[in-house]
Amino acid sequence: MSKEITSRSTDYSQWYNDLVIKGELADYSAVRGCMVIKPYGFALWENMRDVLDKMFKDTGHVNAYFPLFVPKSLFEAEEKNAEGFAKECAIVTHYRLQADPDRPGKLMVDPTAKLEEELVVRPTSEAIIWSTYKNWIQSYRDLPILVNQWANVVRWEMRTRLFLRTAEFLWQEGHTAHATRQEALDETVKMLHVYADFVENYMAVPVIKGIKTPQERFAGAEDTYCIEALMQDGKALQAGTSHFLGQNFAKAFEVKFSDRDNKLDYVWATSWGVSTRLIGALVMAHSDDDGLVLPPRIAPLQVVIVPIYKGDEQKAAIDACVQTLVQSLKSMGIRVKYDDNDNARPGWKFAEYEMKGVPLRLAIGARDLENKVVELARRDTREKSTVPLEGLAVRIQQLLEEIQQQLFSKALAYRNEHITPVDTWDQFVSMLDTKGGFMAAHWDGTSETEEAIKEKTKATIRCIPLDNKQEAGHCILTGKPSAQRVLFARAY
């Protein structure tokens, strides 16, 4: 097998890269920090996108599309937003190349084609969208606006990793406008629940819903809600955020509406997003040393069928049997492939589909056919079983559902084992190093302490869980009084 994978225990980070590349999800590109999402990875993203898109539409949202570029002056309008992203943007300064007079066949930037105002390639679209909403909103009758956009965004990251942190990535960004503070707050929380529903029930990754500290908040937001997941190396990963923006962007872009009493007020806003980063979370949550493990509900391929035969006669008999089965499965909406490519041996195919995380593999040989059975292999537990052809399609459907549930249960058990209440600094540091995961610890509520803890340990406050238990205690670092535990972790 040429496609060897580094084991998690040898080098977790290399294991991850091996999975992404050898599992054919993505590849490096000729552009620094940008990746190519390969067809198999993109099919996964399409499945995720389609489920999310339906969830957004079912909650009353519509899609739209806004420009890729943000003029610098709009970017400056919301001060904190600009500060937050200014250090990491791609800037368009010119609009033409010309032949380089000194290097035949080469091109150079045409110095006469300099833009009067530079354009920022969107790192997020609040500025361009709120400058547009200004024209859409006059009265309470124009509200709410419940718009989502599927788009590419660019943040000039210095250290990049496939899916987890790339200069360009794909995402969706919801941008809503409301007449009241409460309605905007409700929307913020509603979308957090939509994200949690998706990540838990489709990606089979358990999450903690919570709220960020001011330190970790989105620049320009009054509050940032988040869902936090735990990876197999004990590090946390922020899987989605939903921001209550207050009236910050409405004030920056002068977006006012007249209410029922004809009184003018600034509009209330939210924004919320998830990205291709979720694929990184998915890979790290379930996979093992043999390759990807994908949850059936979003796996590009749910079942692969491999024939095992000698000679054309056996092959023809297997083909006939498989054809009926494939039709049954497809009519049930199951994504199935019959791999009868004769360039590769069954053993090679088995390894290949294990690498790619296909949830169920079905092997069928001549003797199986006589006995009216097939061999089924689960990717998650590696269990193999011999199953009758009779009723097979329904059995497969049940098994896919079992695998989905089993993946979630396993990840949930791991996550729950890795929420550790710690009461002293020494305990905090030692558990972080030895066990990892979330540390439920008291904190004095100041950004200074939060920053000091981060400097000393690289652990950050991932969130203050929603409906957090109130419990008096003392800050693990300063000993000052605290009213609740918060969740610390090292994070992606």
Exposure letters 355-366 (e unless 16+ CB within 10 A, then b): bbbbbbbbbbbb
- Does residue 62 belong to the site contacting a second copy (CB under 8 A)? yes
CA 330 – CA 302 distance, rounded (Å): 11
- Does residue 327 belong to the site contacting a second copy (CB under 8 A)? no
CA 257 – CA 6 distance, rounded (Å): 58
Among 48, 52, 119, 411, binds a second copy (CB under 8 A): 119
Q: Could you tell me the smallest distance in angstroms from the CB atom of residue 262 to a second copy?
A: 15
Place of tokens 């305990």: 427
Q: Are strands 303-308 and 360-365 parallel, antiparallel or unpaired?
A: parallel
Contact region with a second copy (CB under 8 A), list: 26-34, 209-217, 368-376, 444-452:
26-34
- Does residue 59 belong to the site contacting a second copy (CB under 8 A)? no
Contact region with a second copy (CB under 8 A), list: 147-155, 301-309, 312-320, 474-482:
147-155
As to burial, measured by CB atoms within 10 angstroms (0-12 exposed, 13-18 middle, 19+ buried), residue 345 is: exposed
How many other C-beta atoms lie within 10 A of the C-beta of residue 202? 21
Among 154, 292, 325, 432, binds a second copy (CB under 8 A): 154
Residue 37 or 184: which CB sits closer to a second copy?
37
- Does residue 279 belong to the site contacting a second copy (CB under 8 A)? no
Q: Are strands 107-109 and 97-99 parallel, antiparallel or unpaired?
A: antiparallel
Contact region with a second copy (CB under 8 A), list: 74-82, 232-240, 310-318, 453-461:
74-82
Among 107, 320, 452, 483, binds a second copy (CB under 8 A): 107
Evaluate whether 197 touches 205 at the Cβ level (below 8 Å).
Answer: no
Evaluate whether 318 touches 309 at the Cβ level (below 8 Å).
Answer: yes
Among 19, 44, 124, 132, binds a second copy (CB under 8 A): 132
Among 47, 59, 152, 406, binds a second copy (CB under 8 A): 152
Evaluate whether 75 touches 127 at the Cβ level (below 8 Å).
Answer: yes
Residue partners of 239: CB distance under 8 A and separation at least 6: 195, 199, 205, 207, 226, 227, 228, 229, 274, 277, 278, 281
Residues 165-224 that bind a second copy (CB under 8 A): 168, 170
φ/ψ (deg, to 5) at 491: -140, 160
Q: Could you tell me the smallest distance in angstroms from the CB atom of residue 150 to a second copy?
A: 9
Q: Could you tell me the smallest distance in angstroms from the CB atom of residue 422 to a second copy?
A: 39
Quick one: DSSP state of residue 288? B
Among 46, 289, 426, 433, binds a second copy (CB under 8 A): 46
Evaluate whether 353 touches 378 at the Cβ level (below 8 Å).
Answer: no
Provide the 3-class DSSP secondary structure of residue 362.
strand
- Does residue 90 belong to the site contacting a second copy (CB under 8 A)? yes
Contact region with a second copy (CB under 8 A), list: 12-20, 114-122, 316-324, 332-340:
114-122
Q: Could you tell me the smallest distance in angstroms from the CB atom of residue 341 to a second copy?
A: 10
- Does residue 75 belong to the site contacting a second copy (CB under 8 A)? yes
Cα Rg of the chain, angstroms:
26
Residue 77 or 369: which CB sits closer to a second copy?
77
Among 10, 11, 14, 79, binds a second copy (CB under 8 A): 79
Residue 110 or 417: which CB sits closer to a second copy?
110
Q: Could you tell me the smallest distance in angstroms from the CB atom of residue 82 to a second copy?
A: 6
- Does residue 413 belong to the site contacting a second copy (CB under 8 A)? no
Q: Are strands 481-489 and 470-474 parallel, antiparallel or unpaired?
A: antiparallel
Evaluate whether 377 touches 359 at the Cβ level (below 8 Å).
Answer: no
Tell me the two tokens of residue 284. 């790290």
- Does residue 128 belong to the site contacting a second copy (CB under 8 A)? yes
Q: Could you tell me the smallest distance in angstroms from the CB atom of residue 139 to a second copy?
A: 10
Residue 67 or 481: which CB sits closer to a second copy?
67
Residue 337 or 474: which CB sits closer to a second copy?
337
φ/ψ (deg, to 5) at 290: -100, -5
- Does residue 452 belong to the site contacting a second copy (CB under 8 A)? no
Residue 467 half-sphere exposure toward CB, CA atoms < 13 A: 3
CA 31 – CA 431 distance, rounded (Å): 40
Residue 79 or 448: which CB sits closer to a second copy?
79
Among 20, 151, 237, 432, binds a second copy (CB under 8 A): 151
CA 166 – CA 32 distance, rounded (Å): 9
Positions touching a second copy (CB under 8 A) are: 27, 29-31, 34-39, 41-43, 45-46, 62-72, 74-76, 79, 82, 86-99, 105-107, 109, 118-121, 128, 131-132, 135, 141, 147, 151-152, 154, 156, 168, 170, 343
